[in-house]
Amino acid sequence: MSMSTQNYRAVHLLDSRTRRDIRRILTSIDLELGSTLTLCGLITMVEKCRQKTLYFEPDTMPAPMTGYCIALRDVDLICVHPYLDSVLTMVVKLHELAHLLLNHLPKWADGTKTPSYSSFVNYRDHFHSSLHYRIRQESAKEQAAEVLATLLFARLHTSRAHCPFTIAQRRELRLLHREYIRLFPSVQLAADRSFLPRVLIEISDARHLLWSTAAATIPVQAGDEAEMIVALCDHPSFPDIPPLFDPPNWKNVDVLQYNLSVANALWRIRSSRP
């Protein structure tokens, strides 16, 4: 099944050359990996294109940063915040892979001065100026990488045969998304709530910012999060506070089920008010 770009509005934010590049990459992925698309398959394809080994590692970083990529002398390195939920972890990996597929990174980050992997990990803080962070999608390259990552996420999401959401669940998820976007508009790539994979990504991105601004050490209950969202939307001063805390660890949370629980609780709160 071809990965069509036609149903995703954010594609049209990009210039014609970038749109052609994305279509070319998606066609190549279809031809090489077909219906067997997996993250491992994408990694192998990137390594083949770049003729370099690709490493993934966890690394802490301040919000709103969720990941980064750097082209080292001997490997390409992608680092992901260790406490992200499963949706955001996957999307960060795909976003950084997209940068590599789109040739946004040179073979070596700093020419002949580029460190090896062993030098970088020993003196990581010295190389921050060379890191390619996934952060607010303001530049053309960041937008392009996020669009391609979203399309790849949608394909992986479909290929894993997740149970489709009901009409009521989709309605509630879009309400949750709309409320989160009111709080954190910077996570929205395009005003398109019809493309559900993007809705899920932006919910996770906004939650990462929310709990980086609140002192929570463990994931809270869905009802508590819904109450907090309502309170903040009704008194929108909170998002101006800069992120101060490490977000709680969402690794072991079934984020899709949790989203449904928060969305349902939010729907009930909103429906009960005049």
Tokens of 229: 């969202």
The verdict on residue 4 lying in a domain is: no
Q: Are residues 57 and 175 in the same domain?
A: no
**Domain boundary pick from 132, 157, 182:** 157
The verdict on residue 138 lying in a domain is: yes
pLDDT of residue 5: 47
**Domain boundary pick from 104, 138, 157:** 157
The verdict on residue 198 lying in a domain is: yes
**pLDDT by residue (tens digit) across 3-57?**
444 456 677 778 889 999 999 999 999 898 887 789 999 999 999 999 999 999 9
Query: One-letter amino acid identity for 121?
Result: V
**Domain boundary pick from 114, 139, 157:** 157
Q: Are residues 224 and 133 in the same domain?
A: no
End-to-end C-alpha distance for the chain, whole angstroms? 46
The verdict on residue 3 lying in a domain is: no
Q: Are residues 194 and 254 in the same domain?
A: yes
d(C-alpha 138, C-alpha 203), whole Å: 18
Could you tell me the sign of the dihedral formed by the alpha carbons of 25, 138, 93, 70, in that order? positive
Q: Are residues 59 and 181 in the same domain?
A: no
Q: Are residues 247 and 219 in the same domain?
A: yes
d(C-alpha 253, C-alpha 5), whole Å: 30
Residue 114 burial (CB count, 10 A): 19
pLDDT of residue 121: 85
Q: Are residues 261 and 137 in the same domain?
A: no
**pLDDT by residue (tens digit) across 222-253?**
998 999 899 888 876 554 555 556 667 777 78
Tokens of 208: 């990462």
Q: Are residues 130 and 41 in the same domain?
A: yes
Q: Are residues 83 and 180 in the same domain?
A: no
- Give the residue with greater pLDDT, 109 vs 274: 109
**pLDDT by residue (tens digit) across 56-81?**
999 887 767 889 999 999 999 999 99
Q: What angle do CA 36, 37, 43 make, to 5 degrees?
A: 130
pLDDT of residue 189: 83
Q: Are residues 152 and 168 in the same domain?
A: no
**pLDDT by residue (tens digit) across 167-222?**
899 999 999 999 999 988 888 887 666 788 899 999 999 998 888 776 555 667 89
List of residues 6+ apart from 11 with CB closer than 8 A: 5, 19, 22, 147, 151
Residue 122 burial (CB count, 10 A): 10
pTM: 0.88
Determine the structural domain holding residue 194 and report its residue range. 164-271
pLDDT of residue 71: 93
Beta bridge partners of 164: none
d(C-alpha 131, C-alpha 128), whole Å: 5
**pLDDT by residue (tens digit) across 210-227?**
887 765 556 678 998 999
Under DSSP, is residue 70 helix (H, G, I), strand (E, B) or coil?
A: strand
The verdict on residue 2 lying in a domain is: no
